Amino acid sequence: MILKTIYIFFILFFVQNSLLGQYNFALDKKNSSIKNTDFEVVSVRNSTKNSSKYFGDLYVNQRQKQKVGFESSIDKSIENYYKSYNLGFKKVKVLVNITHLHISEELNNNKQISGNIKYDIECFLIQNNDTTKFCNSRNSAKYTRTLQSSMLPNVEKQIIEVIDSGLKFMIGYVKNSKSNLEAFATDSRVIIRPFYSKPNADTVYYQQRKVNWSDFEGQIRNNNHYGAAIFTSFAFDSKVTVENNIIIAEITPKVYTDKNMSWAKPGIKTPYALSHEQLHFDICYLNTLKFLEKIKTLKEDTRDDLISRIQYEYLEFYKKTHKMQTEYDEETNHSLVKHKQNEWEEKIRSAIREFDLPKIFN
């Protein structure tokens, strides 16, 4: 009698649950063929428009569909499932963002059901509390079945296979690409390329030639007590990549003077005055070499950190250059103190000669 009562209760419970129109799939069986050895999934987010745990409808008879979902939320269910493949602690952490998960069924005239499953994800590497997308995975499956409820476990299997496909794609992508992924980098390097010096009508690059008075094309500033001013500066172009597990920053420096910003009064255009202006150019070049020598030794764990350090050193040497230019003009009184002018010329040109240029430029 007790057994009969329990049996009746079970039947009633099953019917009630069926009337609710819900069917839950379980993600609790790992695929033994999946081996995740390079990273660990630490989080899964659901960015679909569906915030519930249900992601489609299945036919239970010719007229009625019921919701299908997981036992808990979509993101938490898949997160727990993907985490079950983590093989201990890994340096590289991955965030998975679900952009699409849906199952739909159509009933054909011959009472056959055609089903379609779609599962799209974005994959992000997590570094220093920041994320970088490294791949997308689009997964789908089509199936046919009869109306019998006994076929639902086969649908569950199809869904799991589609979700497995997303994980397998990630694993395969990382295996094929990790030598070029920043998260797997084991070293960093700064490569200095030759100075940029392409001809330009408004610019004289240091490597092209020395300046002459025709390069001083700017508007004369008569309110200044000195007779000429040269506008010199240095800059760089950068390209950061990852190759063979090494973060590489390629730096192309440039040292130049802007003709339109440089000016000279007619009465002071002598060779001696021009040599004073040329030394301003030389000072800029000297400090650029010091900057390049400094950044050549930099080591950082990420691309952002490496380029940030290079930018920081650039600003530091830019300030040092301005300070040296000011000291030069003050000590020489804009070239009027000739023995100081000679001292500065010897000091700057001697310092430039001491640099091991092949060491800087690889």
User: Do the Cβ atoms of 95 and 72 come closer than 8 Å?
Assistant: no
Specify the CATH number for 18-179; select among 3.40.50.1000, 3.40.50.10610, 3.20.20.210, 1.20.1260.10: 3.40.50.10610
Cα 329 to Cα 225: distance, rounded to the nearest angstrom:
13
User: What's the pLDDT tens digit per position in 266-311?
Assistant: 989 999 999 999 999 999 999 999 999 999 999 999 999 999 999 9
Mean pLDDT score, 166-186: 95
What per-residue confidence (pLDDT) applies to 29? 84
Own/partner pairs for 173-178, CB < 8 Å, 24+ apart?
173/123, 173/134, 173/135, 174/38, 174/39, 174/92, 174/134, 175/38, 177/134, 178/38, 178/245
With H, G, I as helix, E, B as strand and everything else as coil, classify residue 249: strand
Asked if the model's pLDDT at residue 211 lies above 90, the reply is yes
**pTM across the whole model:** 0.78
Band (109; pLDDT cuts 50, 70, 90)? confident
Please give the mean pLDDT across all residues of the chain: 90
What per-residue confidence (pLDDT) applies to 20? 47
Band (108; pLDDT cuts 50, 70, 90)? confident
Mean pLDDT score, 39-57: 93
Q: Which of 129-133, 253-257, 292-296, 328-332 has the lowest mean pLDDT?
A: 129-133
Mean pLDDT score, 41-53: 92
Token pair for 45 = 């987010």
Nearest one of 225, 237, 229, 236 to 257, comparing CA atoms: 229
What per-residue confidence (pLDDT) applies to 21? 57
Asked if the model's pLDDT at residue 317 lies above 90, the reply is yes
Band (85; pLDDT cuts 50, 70, 90)? very high
Query: For residue 153, how many other CB atoms are within 10 A of its CB?
Result: 10
Length of the chain equals 362
- Residue 21 is given by DSSP the state T
Cα 183 to Cα 255: distance, rounded to the nearest angstrom:
34
Asked if the model's pLDDT at residue 60 lies above 90, the reply is no
Mean pLDDT score, 51-78: 90
Asked if the model's pLDDT at residue 62 lies above 80, the reply is no
In terms of DSSP H, where are the helices of 131-244?
152-177
Cα 275 to Cα 266: distance, rounded to the nearest angstrom:
16
Q: Which residues contact 85 (CB under 8 A, 6 or more apart)?
A: 30, 34, 36, 41, 167
Say what the alpha-carbon torsion angle 139, 144, 150, 155 is, to the nearest 10 degrees: 0
User: Do the Cβ atoms of 291 and 186 come closer than 8 Å?
Assistant: no
Cα 155 to Cα 115: distance, rounded to the nearest angstrom:
9
Asked if the model's pLDDT at residue 105 lies above 80, the reply is yes
Asked if the model's pLDDT at residue 178 lies above 80, the reply is yes
Band (90; pLDDT cuts 50, 70, 90)? confident
What per-residue confidence (pLDDT) applies to 140? 96
What per-residue confidence (pLDDT) applies to 150? 77
User: Do the Cβ atoms of 265 and 274 come closer than 8 Å?
Assistant: no
Band (122; pLDDT cuts 50, 70, 90)? very high
User: What's the pLDDT tens digit per position in 302-315?
Assistant: 999 999 999 999 99
What per-residue confidence (pLDDT) applies to 64? 85
- Residue 315 is given by DSSP the state H
Mean pLDDT score, 129-152: 90
HEC per residue, 95-158 = EEEEEEEEEEEEECCCCCEEEEEEEEEEEEEEECCEEEEEEEEEEEEEEEECCCHHHHHHHHHH
With H, G, I as helix, E, B as strand and everything else as coil, classify residue 61: coil
- Share above pLDDT 90 across residues of the chain, in percent, rounded to a whole number: 78
Q: Where are the domains of the chain?
A: 18-179, 185-360
- Share above pLDDT 70 across residues of the chain, in percent, rounded to a whole number: 94
Q: Is 205 left (phi over 0), alpha (psi -120 to 50) or beta?
A: beta
